[in-house]
Amino acid sequence: MGQTVIGIVGPCAAGKTTLTEELKARGYHVKHIAQEHSYVPDMWKRTTHLDKLIYLDVSYEASKERRKLNWTFDEYKIQIHRLSHARENADCYIATDNLSQEDVLRLSIEFLENLTSEG
């Protein structure tokens, strides 16, 4: 049996890249999925054979603060719409607005460790 494959998905500036890098550094098999740029609702499922999906969420306001994104609320809403299938099917949902990078990592690892203990 192979290692669990974990997908990370969410809107721009939710923390996907940071979480992916941190989990990989700890030996997890992680895929960063750019679903927010796809018109295919279940792209996250079609492109990678995932065992578990983590959805990182961020508000429009927080996304602009984090990355100084030059985008409109309508563009943000489009991403949220494109991500709706992934969000509905995620195994773990983390709203990142009021969390530090360390908090997001800790919550993700707790989720993944619970998978292992449930066996």
Query: What structural domains does the chain harbor?
Result: 5-112 (3.40.50.300)
Residue/partner pairs of 70-76 with CB below 8 Å, 24 or more apart = 71/12, 76/11
pTM reported for the whole predicted model: 0.89
Q: What is the pLDDT of residue 3?
A: 84
Q: How would residue 33 be classed by pLDDT, with cut points 50, 70 and 90?
A: confident
Three-state SS at 115: helix
What does the angle CA 31 – CA 9 – CA 25 come to, to the nearest 5 degrees? 40
Beta strands in 2-111 (DSSP E): 5-9, 29-32, 52-57, 92-95
Please give the Cα distance from 26 to 20 (Å, whole number): 10
Dump pLDDT digits (tens) for 73-104: 999 999 999 899 999 999 999 999 999 999 99
